[in-house]
Amino acid sequence: MTKDMMNDDSYIGLLKLLAKYDLLLEQFQKSMADGFYNLGRANYHNKDSLRGRYGMDYWDRSYEGQLVADIDGRGDVNITKREIIDTENEEKSEASNSQIRRRNRGDNEEKKKKFKQTDPLSMFGGSLTAPMSLRQSQSNFKSGIPLMVELINCKNSIHQLVKTIGED
C-alpha cells in the first residue's frame, strides 16, 4: 500500500512537471512569436536605406558576450550576467606596425581595453537610429531567456523522475 502511495506521488509529481512544462512552452512560444513579429516590424521601419535586413550582416565579430551559462552535473542550467572586469592594457603603438584593428593616432598612444557592458543593440545601427520596434524585439527575446532556463531544468527533472519511476 505504501509503495502504491509513493508511486502515486511520483506520478502526480510527474503530471505537475508536465503541466509546468506545457505552460512554460506556451509562454516561450509567445515571447518568440512577439520577438519575431517586432523584428519584422523593425525591418519595416529600417529607414536607413541599407540593403538587407537586421541580421547576420550587422554583427560585430569582435563583440564579447554578456551572458554566461553555468551547467551543473545534472545538466541544470543557470544563466547570469558576466562580471565587469576592469583590465587596462597600456601599449605604445608604432606607426610601422599598425594593423587594421588598431587605430593609430601617432606615436606614444595608449590603448585601454576593458570589458564593459555594451548593449548588443549598438551593432544594429547605433544608438541614434535603431527603431523602437527593434528595442521591443530585443526585450521580447530577452524575456525568453529565463523561460528557456526553466524549460531545460524542468525537462531534466522530468527525465529524472521518469527514470526513477521506471526503476521501481
Partner 1 sequence: MEGVYFNIDNGYIEGIVRGYRNGLLTGNQYINLTQCETLEDLKLQLSSTDYGNFLSSVPPESLTTSVIQEQASDKLYQEFNYIRDQSSGITKTFLDYITYGYMIDNVALMITGTIHDRDKAEILPRCHPLGWFDTLPTLTVATDLESLYETVLVDTPLAPYFRDCFNRADELDDLNIEIIRNKLYKAYLQDFYNFVSRKTDEPAREIMQTLLGFEADRRSINISLNSLQSADIDPELKGELMPDLGQLYPVATSQLAQASEFEAVSAAVNSVYEYRGILESGNLEDHLYKLEMELCRDAFTQQFTVSTIWSWMKSKEQEVRNITWIAECIAQNQRERINNYISVY
**Which of 123, 145 has the CB closer to partner 1?**
123
131: number of Cβ within 10 Å: 20
Render the burial of 138-159: b for 16+ CB within 10 Å, e for the rest: bebbebbeebbbbbbbbeebbe
Closest separation in Å from C-beta 128 to partner 1: 5
- Residue 71's DSSP bridge partners are 77
Closest separation in Å from C-beta 49 to partner 1: 6
In single-letter form, the type of residue at position 112 comes to: K
Closest separation in Å from C-beta 89 to partner 1: 15
Positions in the binding site for partner 1 (CB under 8 A): 33, 36-37, 40-41, 43-45, 47-53, 57, 59-63, 98, 100-101, 103-105, 122-123, 125-133, 135
| 30: three-class secondary structure by DSSP | helix
**Which of 32, 158 has the CB closer to partner 1?**
32
Closest separation in Å from C-beta 103 to partner 1: 5
Please state, in angstroms and rounded to a whole number, the distance separating the CA atoms of residues 48 and 121.
15
**Which of 78, 122 has the CB closer to partner 1?**
122
